[in-house]
Homo-oligomer: A and B are copies of this chain.
């Protein structure tokens, strides 16, 4: 049960073993993801949205400490009382917290101390689990599960953040020196049609889900078509070549203002060299692979591309209806590519390809509460609900998402100008 030490105490039951295993696997995976980093890499915050790697490692640890150990483990003592202040993210009810935009100004605690903090908390979670009865376990299990899912979200952020950190360094460090196989030819887009009618969407209550996926409820949808695959770099380069970034009339007003202010002329991490498009990836700098899905575009760019293409983005309800019955397979972080991959022609029998993994797919839906939505009670109620403003929903997970983390009903959300996540485009159409 403890991955490092001998274990003398008997386990209470299978549930505890399973819970512990889920816990320690995810905890260890965070550290595995950092194996190519040097100490200095852990410290940097390259823009306000980015957090330093060591902050991610510490904050996910703080989460277990704050919501579980302080409450359930008698006589639990801080390893350092200032950590509660330093590693709280945005939980106002959990007390004061260090300014978000200055996380990169802290050299201490050191990376080594953060790893000690992780081990300290892991050990105490183990101790707590080894000594809990069934009643407590029933309270603990959903909290630990939430903590596990929380850490998986931060694993994804850790990757997108270190990508940004590396990208602004003129030495262009390489995170993972691998190359996904070249795919010579990919299928063309087919349009898969769905009929008008009343559908149910939202989580059905089986297994873990965030509060924002509930309640399951009915939505009336007009008939619609959805594209059989993601938009590729090749298609996006056509959009650029056709003056996509210069035609105000295809952009949302806020999007056009952003294009003008930020001087956008291509996705994030793209640059032109000798007349060709290159991009910076976690695998280093490479020519843009035409057959791979386009990535690191904002909602504004996705929306403008769709309008240019004579299509539109799907609503989140359409996306969820379309995903019904699809196997939860795709290019996840588990595959170790750290970048979207091209889909080979005749790849498999499913009509809708790349719905999971590769890139988060922008929808045309604002991130709002489902009818009847209730936040969790207490401090964890701040997890999702308070962000339901000025953000758009994305669906399906990405190449930085854990397979065990994603669901059909999963609602990711970012402001429409965000680009540093693995974000891409799937088109939809009215019938």
Interface residues of A (CB under 8 A from B): 38-46, 80, 82, 85-86, 90, 92-93, 98, 102, 104-111, 165-166, 168-171, 173, 198, 217-222, 248-249, 251-256, 300, 364-366, 368-369, 371-372, 381-382, 386-390, 416, 430
Residue of B whose beta carbon sits closest to that of A106:
B169
Which of A105, A107, A165 has the most chain B CB atoms closer than 10 A to its own CB?
A107
Residue of B whose beta carbon sits closest to that of A173:
B108
Among B41, B105, B386, point to the contact of A44 (Cβ < 8 A): B105
| A85: chain B residues within 8 A (beta carbon) | 170
Inter-subunit contact B107/A41 (CB<8 Å): yes
Inter-subunit contact A389/B364 (CB<8 Å): no
CA distance A171 to B110 in the complex (A): 11
A selection of 14 A-B contacts at a CB cut-off of 8 Å is A38-B110, A39-B39, A40-B42, A44-B106, A86-B171, A90-B253, A93-B248, A93-B249, A106-B168, A107-B169, A108-B171, A198-B198, A252-B389, A253-B389
| A170: chain B residues within 8 A (beta carbon) | 82, 85-86, 98
Inter-subunit contact A381/B416 (CB<8 Å): no
Inter-subunit contact A372/B430 (CB<8 Å): yes
Among B90, B107, B368, point to the contact of A40 (Cβ < 8 A): B107
Which of A45, A85, A372 has the most chain B CB atoms closer than 10 A to its own CB?
A372
- Least distance between A216 CB and chain B CB atoms (Å): 12
Inter-subunit contact A253/B82 (CB<8 Å): no
Known contacts A252-B389, A256-B386, A371-B430; 6 further A-B pairs (Cβ under 8 A): A38-B108, A39-B39, A43-B44, A249-B382, A253-B386, A255-B389
Inter-subunit contact B390/A416 (CB<8 Å): yes
Which of A80, A220, A364 has the most chain B CB atoms closer than 10 A to its own CB?
A220
CA distance A45 to B40 in the complex (A): 13
Copies of the protein in its oligomer = 4
| A252: chain B residues within 8 A (beta carbon) | 386-389
Counting from the closest, the 5 A-B pairs by CB-CB distance are A366-B366, A40-B107, A92-B248, A220-B220, A253-B386
CA distance A62 to B252 in the complex (A): 23
> Given known contacts A249-B382, A386-B252, is B165 in contact with A44 (CB within 8 Å)?
no
| A254: chain B residues within 8 A (beta carbon) | 389-390
CA distance A217 to B381 in the complex (A): 34
- Least distance between A17 CB and chain B CB atoms (Å): 37
| A80: chain B residues within 8 A (beta carbon) | 171
| A255: chain B residues within 8 A (beta carbon) | 389
Residue of B whose beta carbon sits closest to that of A247:
B92
- Least distance between A262 CB and chain B CB atoms (Å): 16
> Given known contacts A220-B220, A368-B364, is B168 in contact with A107 (CB within 8 Å)?
no
| A220: chain B residues within 8 A (beta carbon) | 198, 218-220
Which of A40, A111, A217, A382 has the most chain B CB atoms closer than 10 A to its own CB?
A40
Inter-subunit contact B108/A169 (CB<8 Å): yes
Residue of B whose beta carbon sits closest to that of A41:
B107
| A98: chain B residues within 8 A (beta carbon) | 170
> Given known contacts A92-B248, A173-B107, A389-B252, is B168 in contact with A222 (CB within 8 Å)?
no
